[in-house]
Amino acid sequence: MPPFLPPQISGNPSAVWSEQQDACTLCGETRACTASGRDRRGNPLHTVLCYGCGLIRQSPLPSFDGQKQYYSGLYRLEYRGAPQPSPRHIFRNSRAACERLPWLRQALPSPGPVLDVGSGSGEFLRLLARLGYEAAGIEPDPNYAAFARNKLQVPVYTGVLEETSLPERHFACVTSFHVIEHVPDPAAFLARLRALVRPGGRLVLETPDVESPFPRGHRRFHRAHLHFFSLDTLVRCAAAAGWKTLKWGRSWDGGNLFLVAEESDSIAPASEGPLGPAALQRFRAAMRASSYYGSPLFLPRLGRQLAARMREWRAAKASDPEQILLRAITLHRDSLPTLR
């Protein structure tokens, strides 16, 4: 975890470019400016925007061993408050799984071997199994991995991607939802995924968009997220790992980015000129209170959040994870293919 920061580092984006203790994991540049000095709870957290490519990251980044230990159990307790998912969270995860399925179907029109990296409690894998896909997952938290195996009957490896033995060049598609922002080296992470897919294999990613006005200002920063992507930096990161972007999109409120990419034989060259100054201007605009409260999606988003919480509350009355998943599927029945 980054050391305590001096009080002069505020929570506001700065235009002062200075040398950092570590280099950007995407372009190698050491110059950066302060994007934020605190996390969503007001605790010190040094986050910087790279002068070279515009990627936003914590500085300094934690070690691999520290991250592995954190995600082996502490993360879920800190983020969810329990070692296994509650019925309310199972329902939320199940709805997210239904909303992510169309992106997988664009990447992989017919069922094939799928690997979901960071599979959590397994709702997406269970949905794929119902649709006839051969799907497996990787999850570093042993409690969540055990829940997926025992309660939803889906195959999940316990561990981190870098230390898990998987068949190379086997999968037709790899998916990873809200994981890339957690890893110390995103390009290396995507390169490892590339080694697991068949020739011409596909990748489906989802991650928060740091240039979206949602969530509000500094609510977007917390210590579990090591990198913060815009569309530009996400595409560049994928290209650096040998992935060619085929399609991209955003969630209905613009808060999350989706990327569909195909394995490419060429590694994209580095871009010319510093991209940080322009990225800083876009980031500053996203951080303004007027961008959040003035968005035409502010009230619809609030209404949807309240409705979603009510549905979660009703779903929490069920105790069987499979029944909770089916409740979520019912809400998306028109957009899903015939289920088994």
CATH code for the domain in which residue 249 is found: 3.40.50.150
Average pLDDT of every residue of the chain:
89
**Residue 142, domain member (yes or no):** yes
Q: Are 29 and 38 in contact (CB under 8 A)?
A: no
pLDDT digits (tens, 9 = 90+) for 168-203: 999 999 999 999 999 999 999 999 999 999 999 999
Across the beta sheet with 197-208, the strand order is: 156-158, 135-139, 114-117, 171-177, 197-208, 256-263, 243-250
**SS3 at position 241:** coil
Q: Are 73 and 141 in contact (CB under 8 A)?
A: yes
pLDDT digits (tens, 9 = 90+) for 32-71: 999 999 999 899 999 999 999 999 999 999 988 888 888 8
Identify the band that residue 123 occupies on the pLDDT scale cut at 50, 70 and 90. Answer: very high
In this structure, what token pair is assigned to residue 42?
A: 């007001």
**Residue 302, domain member (yes or no):** yes
Q: What is the pLDDT of residue 8?
A: 35
Identify the band that residue 76 occupies on the pLDDT scale cut at 50, 70 and 90. Answer: confident
Vertex 309 angle, CA 100 and 337, to 5°? 30
Contacts for 56 with CB less than 8 Å, ≥ 6 apart:
35, 47, 48, 49, 50, 210, 227, 228, 229, 233, 283
The predicted model gives 218-232 an average pLDDT of 93
Using CA atoms, how far residue 253 sits from 105, 294, 305, in Å, is: 21, 13, 11
Q: Reply yes or no on whether the pLDDT at 5 is more than 90.
A: no
**Residue 182, domain member (yes or no):** yes
Q: Are 169 and 198 in contact (CB under 8 A)?
A: yes
The predicted model gives 202-226 an average pLDDT of 93
* Nearest CA among 101, 97, 89, 190 for reference residue 144: 89
Q: Reply yes or no on whether the pLDDT at 2 is more than 60.
A: no
DSSP state of 4: P
**Residue 35, domain member (yes or no):** no
The predicted model gives 289-306 an average pLDDT of 95
The predicted model gives 102-107 an average pLDDT of 94
**Which structural domain range is residue 270 located in?**
63-274+297-335
**Residue 56, domain member (yes or no):** no
**SS3 at position 47:** strand
Residue 309, number of CB atoms within 10 A of its CB: 12
Report the alpha-carbon distance of residue 101 to residue 127 in Å, rounded: 9
pLDDT digits (tens, 9 = 90+) for 245-260: 999 999 999 999 999 9
**Residue 12, domain member (yes or no):** no
Higher pLDDT, residue 329 or 294: 294
Domain count, the chain: 1
Q: What is the pLDDT of residue 10?
A: 45
Identify the band that residue 87 occupies on the pLDDT scale cut at 50, 70 and 90. Answer: very high
Q: Which of 117-126, 230-239, 264-273, 319-328 has the lowest mean pLDDT?
A: 264-273
Q: What is the pLDDT of residue 340?
A: 36
* E strand segments, 111-170: 114-117, 135-139, 156-158
**Residue 124, domain member (yes or no):** yes
Q: What is the pLDDT of residue 81?
A: 77
Which DSSP string corresponds to 255-281? -EEEEEEEE-SSPPPPPSS--HHHHHH
H/E element holding 65? helix 64-69
Give percent of the chain above pLDDT 90: 73
Report the alpha-carbon distance of residue 340 to residue 335 in Å, rounded: 15
**Residue 7, domain member (yes or no):** no
Report the alpha-carbon distance of residue 329 to residue 335 in Å, rounded: 9
pLDDT digits (tens, 9 = 90+) for 137-161: 999 999 999 999 999 999 999 999 9
